């Protein structure tokens, strides 16, 4: 009897450990599935829209200085003030909300990179086509990165952050290098509030 209870406890522990480490991949496939089904409620549970939007803005601006941290006012007051004027005078880049629509998220998860925003539901590849599988880039206790590689070898990197024992949220999307095409004008995604 003790052996059966010990085996059950060991089995339960193995299942918990495997679930603990597989949860980011489950979140990735959950986002892909919700995006294909236009399930906005599920996307809101799986994506931290504010963090993803903040991660996309510097990538879409096309300016290298937006990727570096701003100088501290205490250490470099002139540089800090100059940076504020540069940011205010900078031309606005593409809207990050264009990447947060279900169609664009589906395209990103299929490895379309920056071109995911020009796709629409009518021009998306058939769901019968197998979407590329994500590959692990980094796997930690509280952070995981998965990458989807397109046909040209460019990677779109998805960063997930632990929000509970088995709950992971998408907090960052790393777009491949290159120019961003102009997005078609469309209504913003639900949950993509500014």
pLDDT digits (tens, 9 = 90+) for 133-172: 898 999 888 899 999 988 778 899 999 999 887 789 999 9
Band of the pLDDT at 80, cuts 50, 70, 90? confident
**pTM for this one?**
0.71
pLDDT of 91: 52
Cβ neighbours around 19 below 10 Å, total: 12
What token pair was written down for 67?
């990727």
Q: Is 77 helix (H, G, I), strand (E, B) or coil?
A: helix
Q: Do 33 and 109 contact (CB within 8 A), yes or no? A: no
The upper half-sphere exposure of residue 190, i.e. CA atoms within 13 Å in the direction of its Cβ, equals 10
Residue 157's pLDDT is 93
Which of residues 147 and 186 earns the better pLDDT score? 147
Residue 80 vs residues 21, 57, 87: alpha-carbon distances, Å: 41, 20, 11
Of the chain, the percentage scoring pLDDT greater than 90 comes to: 29
| Structural contact between residues 168 and 161, judged by C-beta atoms closer than 8 angstroms | yes
> What is the sign, positive or negative, of the torsion defined by CA atoms of 109, 143, 45, 175?
negative
DSSP class per residue in 122-191: TTSPPTTSPPPPPEEEEE-SSEEEEEEE-TTS-EEEEEEEESSSS-EEEEEEEPPSSPPPPPPP-PPPTT
Cα separation, 96 vs 185, in Å, equals 13
Mean pLDDT of 7-12: 84
Interacting residues of 40 by C-beta distance below 8 A, sequence separation 6+: 34, 102, 189, 190, 191
Tokens of 90: 């900078």
């Amino acid at each position: 009897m003790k052996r059966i209870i010990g085996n059950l406890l060991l089995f339960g522990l193995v299942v918990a450990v495997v679930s603990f480490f597989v949860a980011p991949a489950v979140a990735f496939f959950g986002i892909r599935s919700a995006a294909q089904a236009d399930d906005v409620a599920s996307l809101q549970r799986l994506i931290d829209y504010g963090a993803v939007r903040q991660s996309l803005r510097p990538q879409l601006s096309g300016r290298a200085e937006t990727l570096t941290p701003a100088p501290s006012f205490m250490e470099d007051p002139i540089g800090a003030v100059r940076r504020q004027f540069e940011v205010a005078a900078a031309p606005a880049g593409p809207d990050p909300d264009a990447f947060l629509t279900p169609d664009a998220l589906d395209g990103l998860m299929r490895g379309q990179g920056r071109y995911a925003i020009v796709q629409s539901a009518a021009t998306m590849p058939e769901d019968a086509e197998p979407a590329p599988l994500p590959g692990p880039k980094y796997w930690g206790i509280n952070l995981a990165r998965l990458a989807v590689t397109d046909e040209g070898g460019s990677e779109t990197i998805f960063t997930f952050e632990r929000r509970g024992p088995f709950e992971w949220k998408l907090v960052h999307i790393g777009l491949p290098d290159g120019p961003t095409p102009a997005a078609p004008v469309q209504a913003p995604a639900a949950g993509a509030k500014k």
